[in-house]
């Protein structure tokens, strides 16, 4: 038994899959490395087609019973999982910090409490889900949300447990069974979630967790004809492969694919606030899909904005994410750092200038990339058009509102946008014309689970949150009843 247990800062984590209510090993493993110092966190079971098929089969077998479980009972179990998350909040925070390098203080204060909130919110929302009946020539129309079936959820490494439960919670609340495939660079808290769910009393097979390399196990999951929903957060190239794999079964997809979001700073803005918003984009070492990495500043305010931004950014403390005083930790993996540095080096070679940063912090180690701001970049340049997913921002200027909007919308993406202005009328005009799933005005990263979340263009397909999550994870049914035939329920 102990050969399948790894200990992370005193927290025991099972490295096997969780399939059908039991732990299942694989013949092969992969090494999980900590971005803090490159140390091994354990040898993780490396699943493939066999494990994928077993997990989907377990989810299929458990689906009829879970779908028939009353909403109130499903909600009770989800709240019990939330209770379990809160009881193990410290363990989850410690393990995830070691696994993906994000700040321990953020995990303790915000991320893990949000994990518990995800379960409670969707448990409660499922109980209020409904639509008023309506009449058609004396006939009654009754709309219901029927569980769709086994759901495959493929999640990223930048906020592993929070983003996983953002999908797991509504899928379970809807009455679906789940196969969760966490990112191979940060798989450990998904394993702990399986333990928590089992301790809460979730029936065997309702939640399954399979680990492995995406290229080896992904297609086996997404092409399985018994899978009825696929939700994925990650890159555009991977999403294309998933969509092609799912096409044969016409399996519905929800895709959140990152972005290249703008921060528009008008001269009438509170420039201190605008600079704070810009510095906030370095959160999680820049590994945030919503990050406004393209700063667009009105020409007349550019010099003063840059001065204030540089002063604030220079005060950030980069270092060990376990230290309470650290503001920026490491990036997740050497391959990610190589990707980030490649973008920056090519931009500098093309004529960009690094106002701050411009390379790794070699004193801290190979995975700590210095917060970087580049100027002198063209709108068509790679650094402006492609997602870097690291602590790298660009700054461009504009002279008019129309130019600001044109620059903001001139990428293939459309996930989010942030606007800094002191003019409410301008805010209304500009936000109405921006292509984005979420727009923040004089704020950033204020998220409410009642609101729709998703992107336009290459930033994704579909919306999740509130009713939108249940619309995706359910099959919508309209029952039309003739007069005098009684009323349907559910």
Q: Would you kindly state where each structural domain of the chain is located, as residue ranges?
A: 2-257+455-480, 262-441
- Which of 450, 447, 480 has its CA nearest to residue 468? 450
Catalytic residue among 96, 289, 387, 464: 289
Q: What are phi and psi of 179, to 5 degrees?
A: -115, 115
Q: What's the confidence (pLDDT) of residue 487? A: 66
pLDDT in tens, the chain (490 residues): 478 999 999 999 999 999 999 999 999 999 999 999 999 999 999 999 999 999 999 999 999 999 999 999 999 999 999 999 999 999 999 999 999 999 999 999 999 999 999 999 999 999 999 899 999 999 999 999 999 999 999 999 999 999 999 999 999 999 999 999 999 999 999 999 999 999 999 999 999 999 999 989 999 999 999 999 999 999 999 999 999 999 999 999 999 998 999 999 999 999 999 999 999 999 999 999 999 999 999 999 999 999 999 999 999 999 999 999 999 999 999 999 999 999 999 999 999 999 999 999 999 988 999 999 999 999 999 999 999 999 999 999 999 999 999 999 999 999 999 999 999 999 999 999 999 999 999 999 999 999 999 999 999 999 999 999 999 999 999 999 999 887 666 5
Strand partners, 438: 416
- For 2-257+455-480, CATH number? 3.40.605.10
| Six token digits for residue 127 | 């109980």
Exposed/middle/buried for 42, CB within 10 Å: 0-12, 13-18, 19+?
Answer: buried
| Six token digits for residue 334 | 């050497």
Contact between 356 and 181 (Cβ < 8 Å) = no
Catalytic residue among 51, 96, 256, 464: 256
Encode 27-50 in three state secondary structure. CCEEEEECCCCCCEEEEEECCCHH
Q: What's the confidence (pLDDT) of residue 484? A: 83
256 in catalytic set: yes
> 262-441: which CATH topology?
Aldehyde Dehydrogenase; Chain A, domain 2 (3.40.309)
Q: What's the confidence (pLDDT) of residue 485? A: 80
- Which of 21, 17, 316 has its CA nearest to residue 184? 17
- CB-based contacts of 43: which residues, under 8 Å, 6+ apart? 6, 15, 29, 30, 31, 32
Contact between 296 and 265 (Cβ < 8 Å) = yes
Contact between 166 and 137 (Cβ < 8 Å) = no
């Amino acid at each position: 038994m102990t050969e399948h247990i790894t200990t992370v800062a005193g927290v025991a984590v099972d490295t096997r899959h969780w399939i059908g209510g039991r732990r299942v090993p694989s013949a092969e493993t992969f090494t999980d490395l900590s971005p803090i110092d490159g140390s091994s966190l354990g040898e993780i079971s490396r699943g493939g087609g066999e494990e994928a098929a077993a997990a989907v089969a377990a989810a299929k077998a458990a689906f009829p019973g879970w779908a028939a479980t009353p909403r109130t009972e499903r909600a009770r179990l989800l709240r019990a999982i939330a209770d379990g998350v809160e009881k193990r909040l410290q363990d989850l925070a410690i393990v995830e910090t070691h696994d993906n390098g994000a700040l321990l203080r953020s995990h303790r204060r915000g991320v893990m409490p949000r994990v518990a909130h995800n379960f409670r919110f969707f448990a409660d929302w499922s109980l209020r889900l409904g639509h008023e009946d309506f009449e058609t020539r004396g006939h009654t129309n009754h709309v219901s949300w029927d569980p769709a079936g086994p759901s495959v959820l493929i999640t990223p490494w930048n906020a592993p447990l929070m983003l996983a439960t953002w999908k797991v919670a509504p899928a379970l609340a809807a009455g679906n069974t789940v196969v969760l495939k966490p990112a191979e660079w940060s798989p450990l808290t998904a394993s702990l979630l399986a333990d928590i769910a089992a301790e809460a009393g979730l029936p065997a097979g309702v939640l399954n967790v399979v680990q492995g390399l995406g290229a080896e196990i992904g297609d086996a999951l997404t092409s399985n004809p018994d899978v009825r929903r696929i939700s994925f957060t990650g890159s555009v190239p991977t999403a294309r492969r998933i969509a092609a794999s799912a096409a044969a079964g016409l399996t519905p997809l929800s895709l959140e694919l990152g972005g290249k979001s703008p921060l528009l700073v008008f001269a009438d803005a509170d420039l201190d606030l605008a600079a704070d918003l810009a510095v906030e984009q370095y959160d999680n070492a820049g590994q945030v899909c919503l990050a406004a990495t393209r700063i667009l500043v009105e020409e007349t305010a550019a010099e003063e904005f840059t001065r204030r931004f540089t002063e604030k950014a220079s005060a950030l403390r980069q270092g060990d994410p376990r230290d309470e005083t650290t503001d920026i930790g490491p990036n997740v993996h050497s391959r990610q750092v190589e990707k980030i540095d490649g973008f920056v080096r090519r931009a500098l070679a093309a004529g960009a200038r690094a106002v701050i940063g411009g390379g790794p912090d070699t004193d801290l180690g190979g995975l700590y990339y210095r917060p970087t701001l580049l100027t002198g970049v063209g709108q068509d340049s790679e650094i402006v058009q492609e997602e870097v997913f690291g602590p790298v921002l660009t700054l461009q200027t504009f002279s008019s509102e129309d130019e600001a909007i044109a620059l903001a919308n001139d990428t293939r993406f459309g996930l989010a946008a942030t606007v800094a202005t002191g003019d409410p009328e301008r805010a209304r005009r500009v936000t109405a014309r921006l292509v984005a799933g979420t727009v923040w005005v004089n704020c950033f990263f204020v998220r409410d689970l009642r609101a729709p979340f998703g992107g336009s263009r290459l930033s994704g397909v579909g919306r999740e949150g509130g009713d939108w999550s249940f619309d995706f994870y359910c099959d919508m049914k309209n029952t039309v009843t003739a007069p005098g035939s009684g009323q349907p329920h559910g």
